[in-house]
Amino acid sequence: MRLEDSPLHHPAGGPPPRPGEDTEIAYAKINLALHVRARRADGFHDLETVFAFVDAGDELRIAPADGDSLTLTGEFGTILADGDNIVAQALSRLPHGPGWAVSLDKRLPVAAGLGGGSADAGAVFRLVERLHGLPDGWQALAAALGADVPACVHSRAMLGHGTGTHLHAVANDLARTPVLLVNPRVPLPTGPVFRGWDGIDRGPLPSGDLRTIAREGRNDLEPGAIALVPQIADVLDWLHRSGAWLVRMSGSGATCFALYDTVEQRDAAKVPEGWWHLAGTLR
């Protein structure tokens, strides 16, 4: 099965199939809004969210090999263990010939609300799709790796329901919007943040175009995340003073994002020393 057979597919870009080395960007995921509706009996939560993706992230580079291998580089590569890395897990579940030698340049912080691992897995799916085609039922394989992985395979703006794996297309009127990601360099595992949700259902996502949904939405995990990492509040406060029209924490944190009307406004925001940041545009 090929991604273009999916009603949610948009061309992922990248070079055409060719022998030898190939590359793919694992695009940073942000949640423009994340509404937590209920705790489920299986321990997960029912969500309504808006996925969006930045035009930058980790980079995967592959070359044909007799077997699979994974090399980790980049600022955050030393944090990960290559044996149980989600890239290795994705490779083990997808047909891709005798093997791939994979180099993962880990540029996105870990446990940061950017879907970094899920984005890496999504890039593997796109590489397999481009070079071999994806098997029927690839969506279930992706969801088994993580709730964000199916959205990260597409890496385009879309709505997510359930645990985030039920995806719906949305008209993307925010493509090419300048965005700034900022993280206080404090890792924040997802589990404790969800356990800190207060259990109050504050209602569904608003309706309208993507800009309206983003403006009028919220992230129900922000209070719990700030209780665990107070520096998030400092990042949000600084971003609110940077001229952005939307500021919010992404996912379960600790990364926050700001959307701007112009690239000049985004680039005029001088991020305080010590914080990780990434400037880009929405895909």
List residues with catalytic annotation: 29, 148
Structure tokens at 154: 């597409």
Q: Which residues of 147-171 are buried (b: 16+ CB within 10 A; e: fewer)?
A: bbbbbbbbbbbbbbbbbbbebeebe
Rounded-to-10 torsion of CA 175, 176, 182, 185:
80
Question: Rounded to the nearest 5 degrees, what angle is found at the Cα of 34, between the Cα atoms of 221 and 3?
Answer: 135
- Residue 100's beta-bridge partner residues? 64
Rounded-to-integer distance, Cα 121 and Cα 11, Å: 17
Quote the tokens at residue 78: 């030393």
As a whole number of Å, the end-to-end CA separation of the chain is 24
What sign does the dihedral 111-113-114-119 (CA atoms) show? positive
Short-list 116, 125, 66, CA closest to 93: 125
Look at strands 45-64 and 158-162 and give their pairing.
antiparallel
**What is the CA 101 to chain-centroid distance, rounded?**
24
Q: How far apart are CA 164 and CA 49, in angstroms?
A: 7
